[in-house]
Amino acid sequence: MPKVSEAYKEEKIRNLVQAAKKVFIKKGYVQTSMQDIMDEAGISRGAMYRYFNNLEHVFLEVLREDDQKDVAFFEVSNDEQIWPQIQRWLEMQQQVIENINQSLLQAKAEFFLTSQQHKDDFSYVSQRYDEITEAIEEVLMLGEQKKEFQLQQSPERISRYMISFLNGLMLDTFQLGMKQTKVQEQLSILCFTLEKLLYKE
């Protein structure tokens, strides 16, 4: 406990972030207090505040950790047709949505929704939105280059369209459960419309 390596400190923080994440997933952002995280981590108040200034700080660290996992969020292979790859990606999204309760969705939504202050961290949301838009956009353009698609609308529009829809489906599903929103059916509609948007017939 005294004089200790850098590695120890990092490890400690990683543990705390893990504990925090667990709590945030379970309780969302608004309902979570520092105390909850301390309890989950089995650590004292003083120790906690040695590593984090406040709850917002903790959450931002959790966010950072969570983001890293899907950096390589949409890897396209050039060897294969694009469309099947998109379809596979959509199936992945279905998995994501169906496990929405084990994700940070609620906490994130609450965090960015609740406080005007976070409009400063606004850049985060905004940036992430742009990143994803662009990633999808590129895939679409690639498909067009390869003469596989004939985009009926600009790739940017299509990309944003996909995101809006998926976001809506996620939140509705979180609120209402999968039975009511019928995730699979909805995604198959998205597929249907995407075909119309991507192909000339």
Partner DNA sequence: AAATAAACGACACTGTTGTATATTTTAATG
Partner DNA sequence: CATTAAAATATACAACAGTGTCGTTTATTT
For residue 26, state whether it binds DNA (rule: CB under 7 A). no
Cβ closest to DNA, residue 3 vs residue 147: 3
47 phi, psi to nearest 5 deg: -60, -45
72 phi, psi to nearest 5 deg: -80, 65
Contact partner, 101, from DNA, a copy of itself, none, Cβ < 5-8 Å per class: none
**Residues near 133 by beta carbon (within 8 Å), at least 6 away in sequence:** 156, 159, 160, 163
For residue 158, state whether it binds a copy of itself (rule: CB under 8 A). yes
Q: How far is the C-alpha of 158 from the C-alpha of 160, rounded, in Å?
A: 5
| Contact positions with DNA (CB under 7 A) in 51-80 | 51, 53-55
Q: How far is the C-alpha of 29 from the C-alpha of 113, rounded, in Å?
A: 10
Total residues contacting DNA by CB under 7 A comes to 22
Residue of 12, 26, 27, 157 that binds DNA (CB under 7 A): 12
Contact partner, 185, from a copy of itself, DNA, none, Cβ < 5-8 Å per class: a copy of itself
Q: What are the tokens at 171? A: 């939140």
Which region, judged by CB under 8 A, interacts with a copy of itself, from 9-17, 34-42, 51-59, 163-171? 163-171
Q: How many CB atoms lie within 10 A of CB 181?
A: 19
Which region, judged by CB under 7 A, interacts with DNA, from 17-25, 27-35, 100-108, 182-190? 27-35
Question: Under the rule (CB under 8 A), what is the footprint of a copy of itself?
Answer: 28, 30-31, 106, 109-110, 112-116, 122, 125-126, 129-130, 152-153, 157-158, 160-161, 163-169, 171-172, 175-176, 180-182, 185-186, 188-190, 192-193, 196-197
The binding site for DNA (CB under 7 A) comprises 1-5, 8-9, 12, 33-35, 43-47, 49-51, 53-55
